[in-house]
Structure 1
Amino acid sequence: MPRPVRHILGLSGGKDSTALAIYMRDRVPEIEYFFCDTGAELPETYEYLSKLEVYLGKEVVRLSSDRTFDHWLKIYRGTLPSPSMRWCTKVMKIDPLEKWIGSDKAVSYVGLRADEASRKGYASLKKNILSVFPFIEDGLELHDIEAILIESGIGKPSYYDWRSRSGCYFCFYQRKSEWIGLHDNHPDLFAKSVEYEQKKGFEDTASETQYNWSQGETLSELLARRNSIRERNRERHSAHLIDILDDNQGSDDFCSACHL
């Protein structure tokens, strides 16, 4: 007898996927929730997922690569992941997910909103996985998602106080101002990010090419400019403009493929 179709929903630790989990809880009771854990998540993300599990009354399955980020960094000879080479997404998120699903037929619920329908989230090339977009189908936008979180009592993750999206603490899509936020809120993780950038511990495999997390400068250089970055960030928010010089990586569109 063939196995029944599985219904799965990937959580990123961010507001959209969390709101979708709440939205779908009673609509599809058999749904399976999963989280692709890179081992480089913010502490706030793990706390938020634990809080959500209580609300859902169901475990969020943690998926992870058989190897650590450090292992894969050595495989890629010290080349940090970047917008043009997102090896972290493939080996630490997509591969574990597709291994978990195997050959089972599955419907994957994705939290893209109606007001961002032009974005591209992860869609598997495997024919047994069908992606659906309930928020787009039902016309739910940002204000609807925020209402879902407030009404449920879950609220937003605490890292939204200084960061605009979920993801690894060293995510290369972070705004420069958010790197400053990482330094202020998690100085140990910022220091670890600097070590990766300086290839400490990877001298035996690293190439001589300099790879930076943030476009155009090292994290040490970025931190030395913290006052000017914060000032530009305040100007941007007050004028509702994107600061091209300091936030050229920083639209609200983080790596959507990372948010499985």
Structure 2
Amino acid sequence: MPKKKVRHILGLSGGKDSTALAVLLHKEIPQMEYFFCDTHKELPETYEYLDRIEARLGIKIQRLSAERGFDHWLDVYGGFLPSPKSRWCTKQMKIIPLERFIGDDEAISYVGIRADENRDGYISTKPNIKPVFPFKEKGLVKADILQLLEDSGIGLPEYYRWRSRSGCFFCFFQRKYEWVMLAQEHPDLFAEAVRYEQEHSDGRQYTWTQGETLQELLARRDEIIAEHHKLVEQRRRKNNVSSLAEALEAILDEQDEVLPCLACHL
């Protein structure tokens, strides 16, 4: 009986780490299957970045879409917005489509977690999916990842000017500064996020950020931006960081109280 074929898979999120992993492995593992779990609520910059990755590396990224989108699942969950304590969006629109894509096939899943990170990422409980961590195995840290992206000509996604992670435009893990910048960069998407807060069939009100609606947050725009710029300068002086993206990422990571949905943000 012939040996069962093992699939090699790599999930791209539109973030720097998974992209750098694709740069590292696309020639080494030509049979790699690349996929992106599309919630249809991504930033335009994310889609543009995925197109850039395909063009630069000469690969094809399969778009995995949930059979029904965010609005359907919002209705199923009674209008209850996803939150750090109830991450139904990750389950329904990331994990389930991925595991359906793999099915019962034996698969090696390549995960873009660096050697300088203390996290595991999404590890399936299905016995046919084996996670592998090339960056950890090779001892690659953030500086190596940035170098891989620069050398490939792909660089960082455009949203890194004001946001440190990929994911839905209304991701509840955004910090207040990122919400303010969403309103500036994509006022139509910010308005849609406000609508999600305000419109619920059961009459209840939910907010994306704890204790404050987006409209209340935006009313403090100048205060939030001023505090952010102050923190950026402090970070640059303290760590001699010249890159705005690096300073932003460091500040926002310090402000995080819980780990983000790693299936979305690798």
Compute the TM-score of the two structures, normalised by the length of structure 2.
0.90
Are residue 16 (structure 1) and residue 11 (structure 2) matched? no
Aligned to 2:7: 6
Are residue 222 (structure 1) and residue 228 (structure 2) matched? no
Structure 1 CA distance for aligned equivalents of residues 40 and 254 of structure 2: 23
Number of equivalent positions: 251
Compute the TM-score of the two structures, normalised by the length of structure 1.
0.92
Is the helix fraction higher in 1 or 2?
A: 2
Structure 2 CA distance for aligned equivalents of residues 2 and 186 of structure 1: 51
Aligned partners of 2:15 and 2:157 also within 8 Å: yes
Q: Deviations over 1:33-86 (max 9, x none)?
A: 000000000001001101111122121000011001001000001100000000
Matches within 5 A, 1:98-137: 98-116=99-117, 118-137=118-137
Distance 1:227 1:109, change over 3 A: same
Question: CA RMSD, aligned part only?
Answer: 2.0
Q: Deviations over 1:149-189 (max 9, x none)?
A: 10010000000011011010000000100001100000000
Shift of 1:120: 2.7
Are residue 257 (structure 1) and residue 250 (structure 2) matched? no
Aligned to 2:86: 85
Structure 2 CA distance for aligned equivalents of residues 249 and 221 of structure 1: 24
Are residue 238 (structure 1) and residue 233 (structure 2) matched? yes
Instruction: Give the fraction of aligned pairs with identical amino acids, expressed as a percent.
Output: 58
Structure 1 CA distance for aligned equivalents of residues 3 and 84 of structure 2: 40
Structure 2 CA distance for aligned equivalents of residues 181 and 253 of structure 1: 22
Q: Deviations over 1:102-123 (max 9, x none)?
A: 000000000011111x113100
Shift of 1:258: 1.9
Structure 1 CA distance for aligned equivalents of residues 54 and 90 of structure 2: 24
What secondary structure is seen at the aligned counterpart in 2 of 1:40?
coil
Can you give the 5+ residue segments of structure 1 that lack an aligned partner in the other structure?
none
Q: Deviations over 1:196-236 (max 9, x none)?
A: 0112xx42xx362x321112200000000011111111121
Distance 1:211 1:247, change over 3 A: farther
Matches within 5 A, 1:10-89: 10-89=11-90
Can you give the 5+ residue segments of structure 2 that lack an aligned partner in the other structure?
239-246
Aligned to 1:159: 159
Q: Deviations over 1:87-145 (max 9, x none)?
A: 000000000000010000000000011111x1131000100000111001101001000
Distance 1:92 1:40, change over 3 A: same
Structure 2 CA distance for aligned equivalents of residues 148 and 248 of structure 1: 22
